[in-house]
């Protein structure tokens, strides 16, 4: 089958960019344009769009790679960074000499030292309130899951049960406390969590997410902190206190409530993230929440692909999607399970993505449209749909 390629060039000084790609075009035969929409809608398939990614080169679209991923999530992209036409010519010359039209040109960070499994594990958020129950372990076993996120409201003994299902089960623990209607200092949080962490730490659990969605009023915004900068200082103090007690523990920046999904009493997630830049840089890993309501949103940057913005901002950070789901009541549980199975497989080979945890195994109340089993212990169709996925 023939392969089709279009090169997208900046409009400004267009003919200088054309001259820079001339030798490459004569060698490999792609077309080129300065119109992003024309590139995306090129009538022949299969298609790769090679984006000459120049800082400020596409002022109408802004971040041109994000623009493509949001509007054309299924399109194959080949991103070539360049500051000027001369730099582009040199980069493409490397491809010509290698006889490889898609030879990677950007340095690729080696995530092997940060994430030895080398693939994104299929995981689930354990019971939302309290320790795991027998049916929750059945969910994990039947769905053939590889990772579980527990809250500190779970029991450390749950770790033993999970490893009996799968000896290599990866476990991440969220440090959890109720922030409603009270100010919680960093010292308070450290003292509360120290006892809860100990049993998990003694069982070899090393990955801990500090708090949850701190850009929500329900989770401390406007009472314990006013903005991301104040939360970042709080987070660093908590990390410092817990690291002194548990020196081998790794601490993660918490998943924020994403603006792409409706939620009351929230401050903007990306602004909050930027305000807390010092804490984010200090984190051993970053946690992300991704939600969607339909197939289109599952493939959109404002939904299931929201983690890509974190990768763009922090290209050398280990990432975990610590919550994802389709929470809508009108989507069948079978369809949700099929979406989740595809989502796990979509993420499987993404470098530096450690695990994706679906929300939620079970809850005593409030999450009936997301739970993988009901309170009678009956497993929902989500489990069977996820179990049918190919595991490689």
The answer regarding whether domain 4-98 maps to CATH 2.20.28 reads: no
Q: Is 75 helix (H, G, I), strand (E, B) or coil?
A: coil
**How far, in Å, CA of 19 to CA of 14, rounded?**
9
For the segment 185-244, what is each residue's pLDDT rounded down to a tens digit?
999 999 999 999 999 999 999 999 999 999 999 999 999 999 999 999 999 999 999 999
Of the two residues 254 and 62, the one the predictor is more confident about is 254
Give pLDDT, residue 263.
75
Domain 111-387 has CATH 3.20.20.80: yes
Which residues fall within 8 angstroms of residue 388, CB to CB, at 6 or more apart? 341
pLDDT, one tens digit per residue, over 40-91 is 998 888 899 999 999 889 999 988 988 998 888 788 889 998 888 988 998 8
Asked if pLDDT for residue 1 goes beyond 80, the answer is no
In which order are the strands placed within the sheet that holds 76-81? 31-33, 4-8, 47-53, 76-81
User: 4-98 and 111-387: same fold?
Assistant: no
Question: Is the pTM above the cut of 0.85?
Answer: no
- Read off the DSSP letter of residue 294: S
C-alpha 374, offset from chain centre: 27
- Residue-level pLDDT at 264: 74
Q: Name the percent of the chain in helix, strand, coil, to the closest 5.
A: 40, 20, 45
Q: How long a stretch of residues is the chain?
A: 392
- In the chain, % of residues over pLDDT 70: 98
Region of poorest pLDDT, from 62-71, 180-189, 322-331:
62-71
User: Is residue 261 predicted with pLDDT exceeding 80?
Assistant: no
CA distance 323 to 287: 9
DSSP designation for 217: G
- State the pLDDT at residue 66: 85
Q: Is the pLDDT of residue 108 over 70?
A: no
Q: Which residues contact 63 (CB under 8 A, 6 or more apart)?
A: 312
On the 0-12 / 13-18 / 19+ scale of CB atoms within 10 A, 46 is exposed
Q: How many CB atoms neighbour CB 342 within 10 A?
A: 16
pLDDT of residue 314: 85
pLDDT at 107 over 70: no
Provide mean pLDDT across the span 15-42: 95
Q: How confident is the model at residue 106 (pLDDT cuts 50, 70, 90)?
A: low
pLDDT at 262 over 80: no
Give the residue extent of every domain in the chain.
4-98, 111-387
- Lowest mean pLDDT of 109-113, 305-309, 375-379, name the range: 109-113
Across the chain, mean pLDDT equals 94
Q: What's the confidence (pLDDT) of residue 392?
A: 78
What pLDDT band is residue 2 in, cutting at 50, 70 and 90?
low
pLDDT value, residue 63: 87
């Amino acid at each position: 089958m023939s392969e089709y390629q279009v090169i997208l060039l900046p409009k400004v000084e267009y003919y200088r960019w054309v001259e820079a790609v001339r030798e490459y075009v004569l060698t490999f035969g792609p077309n080129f344009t300065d119109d992003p929409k024309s590139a995306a809608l090129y009538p022949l398939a299969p298609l790769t769009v090679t984006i000459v990614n120049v800082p400020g080169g596409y002022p109408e679209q802004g971040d041109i790679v994000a623009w493509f991923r949001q509007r054309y999530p299924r399109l194959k992209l080949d991103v070539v960074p360049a500051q000027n036409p001369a730099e582009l010519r040199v980069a493409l010359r490397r491809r010509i000499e290698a006889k490889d039209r898609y030879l990677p040109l950007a340095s690729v960070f080696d995530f092997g030292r940060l994430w030895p499994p080398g693939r994104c594990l299929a995981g689930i958020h354990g019971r939302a309130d309290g320790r795991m129950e027998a049916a929750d372990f059945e969910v994990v076993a039947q769905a053939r899951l590889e990772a579980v996120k527990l809250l500190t409201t779970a029991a450390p003994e749950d770790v033993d049960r999970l490893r009996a299902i799968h000896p290599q089960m990866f476990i991440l623990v969220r440090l959890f406390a109720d922030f409603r209607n009270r100010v919680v200092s960093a010292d308070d949080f450290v003292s509360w969590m120290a006892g809860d962490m100990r049993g998990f730490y003694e069982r070899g659990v090393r990955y801990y997410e500090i708090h949850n969605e701190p850009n929500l009023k329900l989770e401390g915004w406007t009472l314990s902190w006013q903005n991301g900068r104040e939360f970042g200082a709080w987070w660093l103090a908590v990390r410092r206190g817990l690291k002194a007690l548990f020196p081998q523990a790794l601490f993660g920046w918490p998943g924020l409530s994403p603006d792409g999904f409706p939620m009351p009493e929230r401050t903007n997630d990306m602004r909050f993230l930027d305000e807390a830049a010092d804490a984010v840089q200090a984190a051993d890993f970053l946690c992300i929440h991704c939600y969607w309501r339909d197939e289109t949103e599952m493939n959109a940057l404002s939904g299931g692909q929201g983690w890509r913005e974190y990768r763009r901002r922090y290209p050398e950070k280990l990432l975990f999607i610590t919550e994802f789901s389709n929470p809508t009541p009108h989507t069948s549980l079978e369809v949700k399970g099929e979406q989740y199975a595809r989502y796990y497989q979509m993420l499987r080979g993404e470098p530096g993505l450690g695990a994706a945890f679906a929300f939620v195994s079970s809850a005593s109340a409030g999450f009936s449209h997301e739970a993988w089993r009901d309170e009678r212990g009956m497993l929902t169709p989500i489990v069977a749909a996820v179990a049918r996925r190919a595991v490689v």
